[in-house]
Structure 1
Amino acid sequence: MTIESFLLKSEGEWKSMRSGHSLAFQQFEEVISQIKITILKLTDSKVSALLSSIPLQTGIPTTPFRMAWNAESDWEPDDPNQVSSGECILIPIKQSENNGLLIRSIGYAESEQAISKYKLLNDDTFTLSTEYGQSVAEERIWFISPNVRCRSSVLKTISGNGILQTSFSSEVRKLDLNG
């Protein structure tokens, strides 16, 4: 699988159920999310702006996309209007057929721009590794059918000596039954 085909398989609306374990605080969290992945053109103004904001990278920009989410967590206050939401622009920079960089306007673990290293494994699993100021996030995403995918993540200390958080998500594509 190529990065382009992985992202085309990922495009659409997904319902996600995530279980997170904060090992540092000995807490457990359940999160229900709505995720929308939209492929963008390289000429999109937000894509151009993000590319121009980073140091020159070796590789070929390909298949940029927007990811938007709405999430409800059992850690949230009792007010149902308190929903976590956001969006980010992501741009793969292909360095070879199976790996490269992923530029993120907002990171997964910390709310800052980030550059991740990605790799597509022989079993079509997509892996990401992102170093932030205080932590390192490692993610794995794989499809178990065309409309069901799984995601796992581990958040470690920057030294790699401690695991701060782990999570597992199952994501089901929303199908248009009228179309």
Structure 2
Amino acid sequence: MDIKEIIELCGGKWFSQRTIFQTHVESSKSEITVEFLASDHPEIIKLCQQYQIQPELALGGTKASWDNSVDWGKPKQTGYTLLVWVPQANDPTNGRILRYLSQGQASAQGQYTIGTDDALTLSIEEANLKSEERLWFASPNLRLRTSLVKLSNGASQMAFYSEIRKVS
């Protein structure tokens, strides 16, 4: 599987269940919508320019919007993450990712790798944290993810996601 196939599989609406392991265990639910943005989309161009990357080198981007209003009794949270995919010219299983979060955090860049097991691993290092997310498909309509965030003060947070595609 290559990055184009993974991006295509990620598209659509998903019901997501997340369990976070930190100092305590916390569960939540949300609806996630993933859409593909072409490399000539204004948001893709802007993020590429920020990192001095020619937009035509990017495959495009994925915009993942979330809404946890399906999680009854919890405060409503919405937002989105924009990822721009820039494959290595000679190895499409590896490349750079550019990330923008709608919640006012600074944008960041990192690396992606597709393993022999077809799992996608995203790694991003920032000044005060390091994050790694692993994503794979049990079937075209069942996506699984794990994430590990390590803070510079030694604290860490782990999460597991199971996501079911909404089909109509």
The CA deviation at 1:72 is 5.6
How many residues are paired up?
Answer: 165
Q: Which has the higher helix share?
A: 2
What is aligned with 1:54?
Answer: 51
The CA deviation at 1:54 is 1.6
Give yes or no for the alignment of 1:89 onto 2:85. no
The CA deviation at 1:73 is 9.9
Cα deviations by residue, 1:42-99 (Å, 9 ceiling, x for unpaired): 1111111111112347x9311312110112698x9x5x5x311101321101012210
**Is the Cα contact below 8 Å between 1:31 and 1:73 reproduced in 2?**
no
What residue ranges of structure 1 are gaps of 5+ in the alignment?
Answer: none
1:99 to 94, 98, 115: 94
The 1:154/1:73 distance shift into structure 2, 3 A limit, reads farther
What is aligned with 1:124?
Answer: 118
Partners of 1:172 and 1:49 in 2: CA distance: 32
What residue ranges of structure 2 are gaps of 5+ in the alignment?
Answer: none
Give yes or no for the alignment of 1:167 onto 2:149. no
Amino acid of the residue matched to residue 103 of structure 1?
L
**Is the Cα contact below 8 Å between 1:61 and 1:94 reproduced in 2?**
yes
The 1:40/1:119 distance shift into structure 2, 3 A limit, reads same
**Is the Cα contact below 8 Å between 1:131 and 1:158 reproduced in 2?**
no
What is aligned with 1:115?
Answer: 109
**Is the Cα contact below 8 Å between 1:17 and 1:32 reproduced in 2?**
yes
The 1:92/1:4 distance shift into structure 2, 3 A limit, reads same
Give yes or no for the alignment of 1:150 onto 2:144. yes
**Is the Cα contact below 8 Å between 1:15 and 1:174 reproduced in 2?**
yes
* Identical-pair percentage: 28
The CA deviation at 1:119 is 0.2
RMSD between aligned residues: 2.5
Structure 1 segments of 4+ aligned residues over 2 angstroms from their partners: 71-74
The 1:132/1:73 distance shift into structure 2, 3 A limit, reads farther
The 1:174/1:72 distance shift into structure 2, 3 A limit, reads same
Partners of 1:129 and 1:65 in 2: CA distance: 16
Cα deviations by residue, 1:121-160 (Å, 9 ceiling, x for unpaired): 011100011112211011100000110010001111348x
**Is the Cα contact below 8 Å between 2:79 and 2:102 reproduced in 1?**
no
Give yes or no for the alignment of 1:63 onto 2:60. yes
